[in-house]
């Protein structure tokens, strides 16, 4: 059946060839998949369209979740000025499907020989399967492809203004892609000087990332190669990286420092550049070596450094070498990522700040330490103010700091301060679109309000920017699973388990999505491994209890609950409540969920869409919880921006 190019209804004009929607004379931005859904319903408006027909025709029969379809119907209604109560444009026919009921006028001279097109998924570089259709682009006509790209850009520009700063995958690919591996040491006392060599590596990475013509793996991913810098292994983990920068750091007993970096093209095996730098450990001029390395690498790769970038390269982290030494020790403790090591890191950063009150990096590191405590170890209600205090101090020193805003924006999401999170993350992105934690913050934000398109877009970007970041690996999974995108979450976790085979929290998270997908044997195996790797942490025990419950082995739940309560650290009342939901003890579950609100538990970000809470969603007490967390229907309509 041919479809007219121009369709008119109410005060709307839909151009099916140019992918535009104009309402009351004003153009409206529409996601490509939502646009196709509207056109499809108009095309078949003389009958009721079942959900299965939509799955078959628009998603090519892929096993798309009901939540995904419901969200697309909701977005279609919203852009057309309709909603689930009015149903004046798209009507839900109970137990049957949907029908477009607004009166439509067809322009008889605008017949377009195209049909409603099905879309082909692009390669996003992350292991999604059926939900990859969220990103699919039309495959039938080159003109359709151009239309979708333009439409996507218009949507980003109008709905998320700072998204206009995001580069396309093609633009990223055109920049030289560099991995700086942790520098080696040639000293008698390796244990003493290893933190110093690691910090030199971080500083070089930081300097290189200031150069817009380069694409450089962040330190959070680069340091996963500390124990294995073999080129074959690197290619397996990061197949798109072309250049590896390594160095040997030599420090003599008299304080002389020598750094010999080498830049290698791992595609050709050729040495691109090397040099021999010399300075002294007690001279702040050694900071200049890191800037010189960044400039020399750019020159070797024929990349022009902009004037403002050159100025940023010359900025010293601190002129106080004792403060810097404390900072280096603090970063070493931060990397251990235990509750005890994070507190030790905070003490060291605080000492460094006492010696240099203008030490911006130390304030940001302190904020990040509190944020990690808030995410995994402590009551968020106690630690969020400490994150805010550290960030405020960093912003006093550098009001333009994107890193400080990114850290605080992510903390605000975890504390479900929705408007604050949105504003801070956008401010961070406007100043620097290449911060992966900003994109993780957006992914979690979108997961909380149920914006499926937003989750995929932000996770794709986060994965591009920082492909081996453990925090993104963990929370990226949750952002998908807790929005009901279970198969995508399973595939995400499979990839992350390959990349991070010794990180217990990823196993525990993966066990939950495996259980929700019905793969109980795999879920139990993963859950047990999570307990082993995390040494019986409360979260790992609660995750294992949940997967046993979904497998019908209810006798296992209470012993695991008892073990979790005996854990000396923070026991998340939200995850405990899930176990009681499985046990069908709803009163206890609600009591714990209210306790989670008192603690300002970060898991409450997911309460609106968490599939594990489905048995509670018809209870009036659940609506009250949504209101307290700020994700009731009225609030989410505002947050959707």
334 and 369 Cβ atoms separated by less than 8 Å: yes
For residues 14 and 142, membership in a common domain is answered with yes
pTM: 0.70
CA atoms within 13 A on the CB side of 554: 7
**Does a structural domain hold residue 254?**
yes
For residues 47 and 58, membership in a common domain is answered with yes
Question: What is the percent of the chain where pLDDT is above 70?
Answer: 86
Domain C-terminal end among 159, 189, 211: 159
Quick one: average pLDDT of 328-334? 91
Quick one: average pLDDT of 151-179? 54
Task: Convert the pLDDT of each residue in 583-618 to its tens digit.
Answer: 999 999 999 999 999 999 999 999 999 999 999 999
For residues 81 and 26, membership in a common domain is answered with yes
**Does a structural domain hold residue 526?**
no
Domain C-terminal end among 159, 183, 214: 159
Its domain, for residue 189, covers 173-316
Task: Convert the pLDDT of each residue in 235-276 to its tens digit.
Answer: 999 999 999 999 999 988 888 889 999 999 998 889 999 999
Assign 314 a pLDDT band (cuts: 50, 70, 90).
confident
For residues 249 and 271, membership in a common domain is answered with yes
Looking at per-residue confidence, does 111 or 227 come out higher?
Answer: 227
For residues 177 and 223, membership in a common domain is answered with yes
For residues 255 and 309, membership in a common domain is answered with yes
Classify residue 181 by its DSSP letter.
P
For residues 26 and 50, membership in a common domain is answered with yes
Domain total of the chain: 3
pLDDT at 2: 62
The CATH number assigned to the domain holding 214 equals 3.40.50.10070
- Select from 262, 255, 286, 266 the least CA-distant residue to 276: 262
The CATH number assigned to the domain holding 400 equals 1.25.40.10
For tokens 């890193």, what's the residue? 403
Question: What is the percent of the chain where pLDDT is above 90?
Answer: 56
pLDDT at 183: 93
Pairing outcome for strands 26-28 and 90-93: unpaired
218 and 465 Cβ atoms separated by less than 8 Å: yes
Quick one: average pLDDT of 310-337? 88
For residues 151 and 178, membership in a common domain is answered with no
Please, what is the Cα angle at 368 between 156 and 497, to 5 degrees? 75
**Does a structural domain hold residue 513?**
no
Quick one: average pLDDT of 331-349? 91
Looking at per-residue confidence, does 488 or 167 come out higher?
Answer: 488
**Does a structural domain hold residue 329?**
yes
Assign 641 a pLDDT band (cuts: 50, 70, 90).
low
For residues 114 and 258, membership in a common domain is answered with no
Least confident of 167-171, 230-234, 367-371: 167-171
Assign 109 a pLDDT band (cuts: 50, 70, 90).
low
Strand partners for 215: 177
pLDDT at 159: 41
In this structure, what are the phi and psi dihedrals at residue 518, rounded to the nearest 5 degrees?
95, 5
45 and 99 Cβ atoms separated by less than 8 Å: yes
Quick one: average pLDDT of 143-162? 39
Looking at per-residue confidence, does 137 or 200 come out higher?
Answer: 200
Classify residue 301 by its DSSP letter.
T
- Tokens for 345? 């890191």
From the centroid of its chain, how far is CA 269? Answer: 33
148 and 164 Cβ atoms separated by less than 8 Å: no
CA torsion sign, 627 to 629 to 632 to 637? positive
Least confident of 140-154, 170-184, 405-419, 466-480: 140-154
Pairing outcome for strands 184-185 and 256-265: unpaired
Looking at per-residue confidence, does 495 or 142 come out higher?
Answer: 495
The CATH number assigned to the domain holding 115 equals 1.10.10.10
Please, what is the Cα angle at 564 between 559 and 569, to 5 degrees? 165
pLDDT at 247: 92
- Does 110 score more than 80 pLDDT? no
- Does 210 score more than 50 pLDDT? yes
- Which residues are CB-neighbours of 124 under 8 A, at least 6 positions away? 132, 135, 169, 456, 460, 463
């Amino acid at each position: 059946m041919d479809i007219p190019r121009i369709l008119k209804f109410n005060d709307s004009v839909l151009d099916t060839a140019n992918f535009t929607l104009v309402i009351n004379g004003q153009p409206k931005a529409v996601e490509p998949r939502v646009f196709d859904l509207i056109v499809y319903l108009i095309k078949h408006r003389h009958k009721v369209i079942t959900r299965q027909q939509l799955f078959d025709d628009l998603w090519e029969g892929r096993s798309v979740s009901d939540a995904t379809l419901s969200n697309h119907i909701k977005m279609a209604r919203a852009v057309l000025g309709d909603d689930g109560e009015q149903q004046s444009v798209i009507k839900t026919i109970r137990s049957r499907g949907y029908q477009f009921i607004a009166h439509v006028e067809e322009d008889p001279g605008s017949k377009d020989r195209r049909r409603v097109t099905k879309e082909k998924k692009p390669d996003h570089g992350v292991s999604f399967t059926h939900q990859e259709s969220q990103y699919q682009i039309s495959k039938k006509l080159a003109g359709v492809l151009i239309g979708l790209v333009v439409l996507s850009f218009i949507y980003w520009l109008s709905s998320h203004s700072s998204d206009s700063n995001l580069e396309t995958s093609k633009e990223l690919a055109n920049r030289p892609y560099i991995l700086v591996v942790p520098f080696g040491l040639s000293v008698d006392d390796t244990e003493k000087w290893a933190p110093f060599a690691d910090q030199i590596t971080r500083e070089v990475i930081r300097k290189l990332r200031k150069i817009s013509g380069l694409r450089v793996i962040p330190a959070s991913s680069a340091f996963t190669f500390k124990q294995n810098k073999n080129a074959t292994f690197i290619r397996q983990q990061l197949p798109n990286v072309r250049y590896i920068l390594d160095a040997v750091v030599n420090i003599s007993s008299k304080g002389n420092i020598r750094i010999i970096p080498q830049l290698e093209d791992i595609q050709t095996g050729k040495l691109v550049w090397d040099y021999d730098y010399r300075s002294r450990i007690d001279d702040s001029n050694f900071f200049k070596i890191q800037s010189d390395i960044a400039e020399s690498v750019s020159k070797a790769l024929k990349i022009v450094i902009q004037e403002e970038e050159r100025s940023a390269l010359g900025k010293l982290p601190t002129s106080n070498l004792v403060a810097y030494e404390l900072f280096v020790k603090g970063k070493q403790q931060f990397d251990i990522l235990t509750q005890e090591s994070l507190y030790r890191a905070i003490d060291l950063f605080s000492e460094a700040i006492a010696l240099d009150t203008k030490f911006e990096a130390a304030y940001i590191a302190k904020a990040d330490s509190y944020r990690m405590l808030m995410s995994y170890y402590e009551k968020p209600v106690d630690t969020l103010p400490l994150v805010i205090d550290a960030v405020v101090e960093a912003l006093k020193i550098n009001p333009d700091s994107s890193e400080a805003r990114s850290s605080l924006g992510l903390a605000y999401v975890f504390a479900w301060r929705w408007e604050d999170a949105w504003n801070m993350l956008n401010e961070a992105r406007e100043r620097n679109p290449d911060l992966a934690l900003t994109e993780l913050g957006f992914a979690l934000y979108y997961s909380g309000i149920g914006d499926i398109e937003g989750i995929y877009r932000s996770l794709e970007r986060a994965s591009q920017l920082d492909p081996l970041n453990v925090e993104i690996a963990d929370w990226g999974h949750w952002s998908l699973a807790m929005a009901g995108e279970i198969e995508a979450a399973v595939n995400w976790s499979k990839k992350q388990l390959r990349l991070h085979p010794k990180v217990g929290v990823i196993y525990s998270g993966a066990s939950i999505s495996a259980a929700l997908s019905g793969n109980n044997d795999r879920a139990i195996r993963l859950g047990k491994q999570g307990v082993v790797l995390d040494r019986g942490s409360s979260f790992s025990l609660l995750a294992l209890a949940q997967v046993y419950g979904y497998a019908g082995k209810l006798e296992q739940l209470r012993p695991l609950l008892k073990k979790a309560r005996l854990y000396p650290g923070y026991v998340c009342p939200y995850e405990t409540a899930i176990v009681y939901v499985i046990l069908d003890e709803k009163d206890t579950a609600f009591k714990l969920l209210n306790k989670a609100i008192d603690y300002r538990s970060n898991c409450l970000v997911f309460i609106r869409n968490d599939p594990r809470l489905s048995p509670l969603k018809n209870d009036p007490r659940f609506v009250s919880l949504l209101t307290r967390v700020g994700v009731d229907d009225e609030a989410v309509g505002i947050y959707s921006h």
